[in-house]
């Protein structure tokens, strides 16, 4: 006989964060309402009662305290600046463009090799930010002449380099493409930034670059090495994302 379950209560305070994430992901695949009990230390300290069930939050899956981002200082730095986002039509690049557009830059330049992705984010930004000074360009970071012309013409002060091949299994079958696009693309973009006196260069990297065990991770680790040696640029940063 099948049990008709409407609600799942997660009540395993001793579960590790990985076990917790795995169990909750399985629960979330059902149509049930998923709730969790307070942490064991909260109950012992008397902060909350066991009867206080609550819905699952993103913090429950994270397994640590969320990092609080100082959006005011970020907005203050971008406001009034010329900002270039390579790979601006991709999953990470497009979200960067949304956040940058809301920070009132002097100009936002999106550079992407995939015209469909570039077109979609362009239409979205023009609709949501009608006063945004937006330029969308098609081209590859592998093309030294093309990326150099972009820097010479638009003189970006801040660069977010998000253009990359990120698919782990596919890059195992095409390692040369990962190196050409990720490593040489980063080198050529960084070189153009140096030659055109860019103030800040931010490399979008991945957790796979830490002790890499695959081609994609190794290629991004090489990108980080390149980024560390961009000494002529005033500020150079690496942002890692889990993917």
Residue 51 three-state SS: coil
For the chain, the C-alpha Rg in angstroms (whole number) is 22
Give, as one character, the DSSP assignment of residue 67. Answer: P
Residues linked to residue 34 through DSSP beta bridges, in sequence order? 8
Residue (of 74, 107, 112) closest to 91 by Cα position: 112
What are the E-state strand segments in the chain?
Answer: 7-10, 33-36, 54-55, 82-86, 107-112, 134-138, 158-161, 200-206, 235-241
Distance CA 243, CA 218 (A): 14
188 is catalytic: no
Residue 225 three-state SS: helix
Q: Single out the catalytic residue among 166, 188, 208, 220.
A: 208
Q: Other CB atoms closer than 10 Å to residue 73's CB: what's the count?
A: 9
Residue 160 tokens, joined: 């977010």
With b for 16 or more beta-carbon neighbours within 10 A and e for fewer, the 199-234 pattern comes to ebbbbbbbebbeebeebbbbbbbbbbebbeebeebe
Residues annotated as part of the active site: 208
């Amino acid at each position: 006989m099948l049990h008709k379950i409407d609600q799942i209560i997660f009540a395993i305070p001793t579960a590790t964060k990985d076990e917790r994430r795995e169990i909750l992901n399985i629960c979330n695949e059902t149509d049930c309402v998923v709730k969790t009990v307070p942490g064991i230390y909260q109950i012992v300290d008397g902060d909350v009662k066991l009867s206080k069930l609550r819905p699952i939050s993103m913090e429950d899956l994270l397994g640590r305290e969320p990092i609080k981002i100082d959006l005011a200082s970020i907005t203050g730095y971008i406001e009034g600046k010329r900002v270039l986002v390579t790979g601006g039509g991709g999953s990470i690049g497009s979200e960067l463009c949304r956040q940058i557009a809301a920070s009132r830059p002097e100009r936002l330049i999106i550079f992407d090799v995939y015209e469909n992705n570039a077109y979609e984010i362009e239409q979205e930004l023009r609709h949501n930010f009608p006063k945004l000074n937006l330029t969308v360009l098609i081209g590859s970071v592998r093309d030294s002449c093309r990326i150099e012309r972009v820097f010479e013409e638009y003189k970006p002060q801040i660069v977010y380099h998000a253009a990359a091949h990120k698919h782990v299994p596919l890059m195992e079958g095409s390692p040369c493409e990962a190196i050409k696009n990720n490593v040489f693309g980063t080198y050529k973009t960084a070189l153009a930034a140096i030659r055109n006196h860019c103030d800040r260069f931010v490399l979008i990297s991945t957790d796979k670059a830490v002790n890499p065990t695959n081609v994609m991770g190794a290629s991004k680790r090489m990108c980080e090495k390149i980024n560390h040696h961009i000494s002529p640029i005033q500020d150079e940063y690496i942002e890692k994302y889990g993917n």
